[in-house]
């Protein structure tokens, strides 16, 4: 029935060529990309069993010096090109997972390869400063430039950090400081506060909480881990704060057929948020911040409605808790808007928006209100990395110039529609196809089946991601276009047929 995705011959290698790749492959490159990507292969090319012999050897070597069993692919980054990744055994894959969603413009983008061919930029790269004390003289201009290009509406402050967890960790600190400043009316600390804080005791170290949601993921540093709720293996054996965990809506799909259930689900979760606010307040640990992902990502790509996010904001405001949107995974364009929360039509700006991944370094935007009054309250040695900011500036210029968010929206719509059609043939083996832009996922019947789908896709030359127990997720580049989507869909359809007949 799904002849659209079945080509007369499903060869293991399509004709392809890469400037950096195997010259023996033929020279037909894909011409229908939204932006020209010179030499991008026109399809995957698998030459060995997966994992191949060199990969196995490298894994053995690495395992001798660290626990390396999370390693999936050793990459030959010299040979990767555009949407294609090449492994140590010279296998070429279409990459729809992109290093956990961190490669916005594909591999070895020609313009990015040029960025440090400039003495000033090169010197900014090699002289990595302690940004909180010795920033380069061009740093204020660079920060202003980033603000002008991507600051979420209403957020006037920008702090760069190292990674996603580091961004969230510091966002929590801003929320706590703002809460105490509001309680105290100022930041003139009492002697009792300055003394008790060194003993980890109140009032200097107050009892305050961050609310997060079931299945959320906010990082693995000690503070963020208390807000992370997706998998036990990330948390086990680590002491944690006693912070509230609210339910996140679990929708039924298709959305059009389950509107009533899903709206009730929103209200059920929101009622529990209010209840938990009250419980924690009564037990003397008021909630100073609510952190939420616009789409719960590591937790399985769980979506919630704009209504849910608007109401959640109003409950947070009512309780003087900062509303923190964790856009570490959704930020940077994969949903078809630069920030996913732009879909929510919030009544007022969130207090803090955190980012990392596609933006190359961690960081967060805040309102003026969240700004600490004294220096050194959120601080570390590097506080980001000018080298990554230089790359980010280039990324942003290309995303805008090449209208890549439009590309994400149109490729995403196409891929989502096609996956829904495939789902209609194979449900309930797969179900709940969902997504915004190319931030797309579906659910498999069991974890074993989900893992097998990903394994078979890889054997056919597509690297796809899993999340939580049952989810298959797509996190392609912003250059992922219809021809790439067709290759993925064709492989996916073949895998479905193999596994169900
Ligand atoms: C939503 C979200 N927040 C925070 C993080 C943590 O980011 P990092 O791994 O850079 O610390 C992640 C990582 O996947 C994430 O998806």
What percent of the chain has a predicted confidence (pLDDT) above 90?
A: 92
pLDDT digit string (tens) for 419-451?
999 999 999 999 999 999 999 999 999 999 999
Question: Could you tell me which residue, 309 or 9, shows the higher pLDDT?
Answer: 309
pLDDT band at 12 (very low <50, low <70, confident <90, very high): low
Average pLDDT over the chain, rounded to an integer: 93
Q: Is the peptide bond before 51 cis (omega within 30 degrees of 0)?
A: yes
Task: Return the CATH number of 129-185+196-384, one of 3.40.50.80, 1.10.340.30, 3.40.50.300, 3.40.640.10.
Answer: 3.40.640.10
What percent of the chain has a predicted confidence (pLDDT) above 70?
A: 93
381 is catalytic: yes
pLDDT band at 457 (very low <50, low <70, confident <90, very high): very high
Per the CB < 8 A criterion, the answer to whether 90 and 22 are in contact is yes
With the most atoms of ligand 1 within 8 angstroms of its CB, the residue from 171, 221, 329 to mutate is 329
With the most atoms of ligand 1 within 8 angstroms of its CB, the residue from 357, 467, 475 to mutate is 357
Does any ligand 1 atom lie closer than 6 A to the CB of residue 328? yes
pLDDT band at 37 (very low <50, low <70, confident <90, very high): confident
**Spacing, Cα 362 to ligand 1 middle (Å):** 9
Domain locations in the chain? Answer: 3-112+404-500, 129-185+196-384
**Spacing, Cα 60 to ligand 1 middle (Å):** 28
Nearest to 434 by CA among 253, 250, 262, 298: 253
Q: Do domains 3-112+404-500 and 129-185+196-384 have the same CATH topology?
A: no
Kindly report the protein residue whose alpha carbon is nearest to atom 4 of ligand 1: 218
Q: From the alpha carbon of 296, which atom of ligand 1 is closest?
A: 1
* Residue position matching structure tokens 């580091």: 166
Per the CB < 8 A criterion, the answer to whether 32 and 483 are in contact is yes
Task: Return the CATH number of 3-112+404-500, one of 3.40.50.12280, 3.90.1150.10, 3.40.50.300, 3.40.630.30.
Answer: 3.90.1150.10
326 is catalytic: yes
Residue 139 pLDDT > 50: yes
Range with lowest mean pLDDT among 10-14, 29-33, 494-498: 29-33
pLDDT at 35: 55
The CA distance from 242 to 280, in Å, is 10
Nearest to 447 by CA among 471, 429, 422: 471
Per the CB < 8 A criterion, the answer to whether 412 and 420 are in contact is no
**Spacing, Cα 219 to ligand 1 middle (Å):** 5
pLDDT at 124: 95
Question: Could you tell me which residue, 409 or 24, shows the higher pLDDT?
Answer: 409
- Give the bridge partners for 481, in sequence order: none
19 is catalytic: no
The values of phi and psi at residue 270, to 5°, are -65, -40
Residue 105 pLDDT > 50: yes
Does any ligand 1 atom lie closer than 6 A to the CB of residue 101? no
With the most atoms of ligand 1 within 8 angstroms of its CB, the residue from 162, 165, 300, 354 to mutate is 165
Does any ligand 1 atom lie closer than 6 A to the CB of residue 301? no
Mean pLDDT of 243-264: 98
Catalytic residue among 5, 74, 172, 217: 217
pTM as predicted: 0.94
357 is catalytic: yes
Give 259-324 as a DSSP string: HHHHHHHHHHHHHHHHHHHHHHHHTT--EEEEEE-SEETTTT-EE--HHHHHHHHHHHHHTT-EEE
Does any ligand 1 atom lie closer than 6 A to the CB of residue 159? no
Mean pLDDT of 303-324: 98
Question: Could you tell me which residue, 36 or 57, shows the higher pLDDT?
Answer: 57
Structure tokens, 442: 């579906």
Contacts of 493 (CB under 8 A, 6+ apart): 2, 5, 6, 422
Q: Is the peptide bond before 254 cis (omega within 30 degrees of 0)?
A: yes
Catalytic residue among 381, 446, 447, 500: 381
Mean pLDDT of 294-302: 98
Range with lowest mean pLDDT among 28-37, 135-144, 217-226: 28-37
Range with lowest mean pLDDT among 8-22, 305-319, 412-426: 8-22
Catalytic residue among 79, 357, 388, 460: 357
**Spacing, Cα 343 to ligand 1 middle (Å):** 21
Residue 51 pLDDT > 60: yes
């Amino acid at each position: 029935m799904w002849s659209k995705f079945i080509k007369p011959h499903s060869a293991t290698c399509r004709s392809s060529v890469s400037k950096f790749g195997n010259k023996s492959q033929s020279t037909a490159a894909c011409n229908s990309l939204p932006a020209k990507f010179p030499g991008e292969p026109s399809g995957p090319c698998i030459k060995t069993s997966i994992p191949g012999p060199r990969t196995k050897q490298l894994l053995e070597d690495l395992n001798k010096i660290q626990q390396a069993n999370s390693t999936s692919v050793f990459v030959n980054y010299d040979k990767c090109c555009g949407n294609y990744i090449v492994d140590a055994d010279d296998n070429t894959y279409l990459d729809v997972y992109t290093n956990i969603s961190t490669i916005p413009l594909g591999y070895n983008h020609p313009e990015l390869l040029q960025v440090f061919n400039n003495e000033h930029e090169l010197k900014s790269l090699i002289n990595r400063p302690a940004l909180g004390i010795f920033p380069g003289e061009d740093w204020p201009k660079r920060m202003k430039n980033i603000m002008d290009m991507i600051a979420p509406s209403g957020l006037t402050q920008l702090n760069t950090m190292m990674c996603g967890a580091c961004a969230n960790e510091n966002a929590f600190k801003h929320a706590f400081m703002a809460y105490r400043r509001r309680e105290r009316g100022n930041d003139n600390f009492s002697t009792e506060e300055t003394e008790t804080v060194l003993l980890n005791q109140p009032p200097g170290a107050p009892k305050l909480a961050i609310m997060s949601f079931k299945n959320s993921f906010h990082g693995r540093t000690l503070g963020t881990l208390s807000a992370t709720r997706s998998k036990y293996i990330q948390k086990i054996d680590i002491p944690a704060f006693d912070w509230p965990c609210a339910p996140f809506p679990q929708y039924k799909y298709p959305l059009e057929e389950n509107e009533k259930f899903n709206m009730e689900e929103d209200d059920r979760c929101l009622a529990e948020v209010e209840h938990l606010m009250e419980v924690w307040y009564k037990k003397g640990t008021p909630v100073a911040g609510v952190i939420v992902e616009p789409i719960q990502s590591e937790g399985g790509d769980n979506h919630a409605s704009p209504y849910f996010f608007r109401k959640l904001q109003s409950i947070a405001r009512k309780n003087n808790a900062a509303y923190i949107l964790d856009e570490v995974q959704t930020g940077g364009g994969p949903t078809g808007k630069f920030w996913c929360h732009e879909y929510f039509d919030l009544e007022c700006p969130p207090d803090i928006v955190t980012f990392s991944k596609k933006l190359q370094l961690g960081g967060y935007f805040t309102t003026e209100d969240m700004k600490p009054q004294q220096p050194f309250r959120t601080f570390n040695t590097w506080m980001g990395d000018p080298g990554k900011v230089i790359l980010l500036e280039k990324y942003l210029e290309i995303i805008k110039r090449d209208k890549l968010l439009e590309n994400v929206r149109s490729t995403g719509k196409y891929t989502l529609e096609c996956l829904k059609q495939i789902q209609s043939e194979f449900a309930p083996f797969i179900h709940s196809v969902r997504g915004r832009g190319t931030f797309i996922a579906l659910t498999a019947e069991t974890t074993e089946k989900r893992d097998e789908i990903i394994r078979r896709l890889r054997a056919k030359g597509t690297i796809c991601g899993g999340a939580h127990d049952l989810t298959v997720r797509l996190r392609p580049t912003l250059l992922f276009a219809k021809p790439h989507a067709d290759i993925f869909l064709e492989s996916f359809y073949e895998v479905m047929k193999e596994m169900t007949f």
